[in-house]
Amino acid sequence: MDFLAGCLGGAAGVLVGHPFDTVKVRLQVQSVDKPLYRGTFHCFQSIIRQESVFGLYKGSGSPMMGLTFINAIVFGVQGNAMRRLGEDTPMNQFLAGAAAGAIQCVICCPMELAKTRMQMQGTGEKKSSSRKVYKNSLDCLARIYQREGLRGVNRGMVTTLIRETPGFGVYFLAYDLLTRSLGCEPEDPYMIPKLLFAGGMSGIASWLSTYPVDVIKSRLQADGVGGKYQYSSIMDCTRKSIEREGWRVFTRGLTSTLLRAFPVNAATFATVTLFLLYVRPDEGPKDCEAAPHHAPLQQQAQPSSL
């Protein structure tokens, strides 16, 4: 049931947050010489006007498909890591989260590659005149594999690993610290709002800790769209980005990312918590204790994606 709840919660998070993610990617990879968008809200307006509201959901099939595998990996690795580490401490939560983040990159990297390519498809074009290179996320990955093999499908793996490992560590650590400090009583009428607040703020903390790496990852994964490559490596991408746009390049799309982080985690936690309380009316609330050791609830309510 925990696994199913996590999948449903993750799906809710994708539906709520994917439009913000599309805006983030467009802002991160747009040309500095001929920018299409002036900022977050202008990007939202432009996509809806030119590509309809469905343009905001381009590439959503990829994260939806990957949810099952990512949830299985994150929940399994984090739970096993905590059992092996033994004591439920903030540092162990960080280590278990980092391990889960690192291992799920095997699924996360190809999934985000397809998502990024789909999100960039038809940028700035009217919906009626837009030529589709990829039919869907699976077709996108299949075409990349045909042209570039496994190396192409795993483009951006190193940057994904650098982002996800500390990112999940910070997430689990922040969530653990917040839930401990807020307290959680079985009879507390504000239990769910507290969990939602902790999850949302933990998501924000995680993104802030790794956002510069995410910018480079997006640029590397979007590189090659249209057959033109700009970057030969991570360092080359970083150097060229800083030379052309300065250090502010690492904040491109940050506003939409932070706007997305809280509602995504709120939607995920609400779905997971309500589902568990519905299917386990006698067990769900009992798992929430005021004592420091509240691992059962945490493992149940933990979102599967940042």
pTM for the full predicted model: 0.76
What tokens does 234 get? Answer: 């991570």
Domains of the chain, start order: 1-123+134-279 (1.50.40.10)
pLDDT at 149: 92
Residue 148 has pLDDT above 50, yes or no: yes
Nearest by Cα to 70 from 107, 15, 111, 112: 107
What tokens does 171 get? Answer: 């997430």
Distance CA 23, CA 116 (A): 11
Could you report the per-residue pLDDT of 81-140, keeping only the tens digit for each? 988 998 889 999 999 999 999 999 999 999 999 988 888 886 666 655 556 778 888 888
Could you report the per-residue pLDDT of 207-229, keeping only the tens digit for each? 999 999 999 999 999 987 767 78
Burial of 136 (0-12, 13-18, 19+ CB in 10 A): middle
Q: Is the separation of the CB atoms in 184 and 286 below 8 Å? A: no
pLDDT at 131: 65
pLDDT at 80: 86
Distance CA 97, CA 84 (A): 13
- The listed range with the strongest mean pLDDT (6-20, 57-71, 144-158) is 144-158
* For residues 260-267, average pLDDT: 81
